[in-house]
Amino acid sequence: MPVLFVLIWSTGFIVARYGMPHAPPLKFLLLRYFFSIACFLPWILMARVKWPATRMQWAHLALTGVLMHACYLGGVWAAVKAGMGSGLSALIVGIQPVLTALWLSGTGGRVSARQWGGLVLGFAGLVLVVSRKFGQGGEADWANVSMAVGALFAITLGTLYQKRFVKPCDVRSANAVQLMAAFLVTLPLALLETESVHWNAEMMGAMAWSVLVLTLGGSSLLYMLIQRGAAASVASLMYLVPPVTAMIAWLLFSEPINTATVVGTLMTVMGVAVVVRPTSAQALALRR
């Protein structure tokens, strides 16, 4: 699942390149939430999936939906629409593992010295991969950087909150609740956008991929990974997204990959491996 999640999540920045020229970000996301809910609801009804048992569980899921869908995606896509490159936006959001580790260490959670080393190594590789994005005229300004930083804090808080408060439940009904909350929050903001949606082949392809692959696939995998794994380990997977995004952009758009990209990717992979590798006690428990 981690490998599949990274591959799927990395395409989110690529999809923005196809979809953003043809729609304002919040209207695009509003349609994405609507079509995703339309896919989940029949599946839930036909499979007789149980909904969350309590109102509190509904509230917890709704809040994570607002943070991890409406705020995170809204921030990233708005930043891309405002001119920020995919590499720079991926770098900013890629700081999430560091924020997660800092939060855990500050609240009594345990982040070992080995894991800190892996986080530092992964972050160094991440910076190396996307460093060529800095200094390009017009790519970053206070507005789009603020949007991306807001998205960073939203996905970090959403991940930590879900791990702490959301009890295990069926991923289909959980995702549906999260998407409905994101839809309701995004709706009034999307109505303020004056630009209209232009439906063409690129727009329809971007929407189909966003709904069927990113939401139904990627968001569901993220939910399951958070429920099953440690927060620091799950967050560390985000380190792999910018390098993989660079590889996909090279394949699709012939964007050049230099030596720094290769070296940085190797550093990032090694850093993630160090963070997610179980300790001796955990390995012994798994063998038992």
Are the beta carbons of 122 and 239 closer than 8 angstroms?
yes
Average pLDDT on 193-215 reads: 92
What are the tens digits of pLDDT across the range 17-69? 788 889 999 999 999 999 999 999 999 999 999 999 899 999 999 999 999 99
Mean pLDDT of 87-102: 73
135-151 tens-digit pLDDT: 555 567 778 888 988 99
DSSP codes joined into one string, the chain: -HHHHHHHHHHHHHHHHHHGGGS-HHHHHHHHHHHHHHHHHHHHHHHTPPPPSSHHHHHHHHHHHIIIIIIHHHHHHHHHHTT--HHHHHHHHTTHHHHHHHHHHHTT----HHHHHHHHHHHHHHHHHHGGGTT-TTS--HHHHHHHHHHHHHHHHHHHHHHHHPPP--HHHHHHHHHHHHHHHHHHHHTT--PPP--SHHHHHHHHHIIIIIIIIIIHHHHHHHHHS-HHHHHHGGGGHHHHHHHHHHHHH-----HHHHHHHHHHHHHHHHHHSPPHHHHHHHH-
State yes or no: pLDDT of 286 exceeds 50.
no
CA angle 8/9/11 to nearest 5° reads 70
Predicted local distance difference test score (pLDDT) of residue 288? 45
Contact indicator for 171, 73 with CB cutoff of 8 Å: no
Sorted by sequence, the CB contacts under 8 Å of residue 222 that are 6+ apart come out as 5, 9, 68, 234
Q: What percent of the chain has pLDDT over 70?
A: 81
Q: What is the pLDDT of residues 225-270, one digit of tens each?
A: 766 665 556 666 666 777 777 777 778 767 667 787 788 778 877 8
Mean of all residue pLDDT scores within the chain = 81
Distance CA 120, CA 21 (A): 36
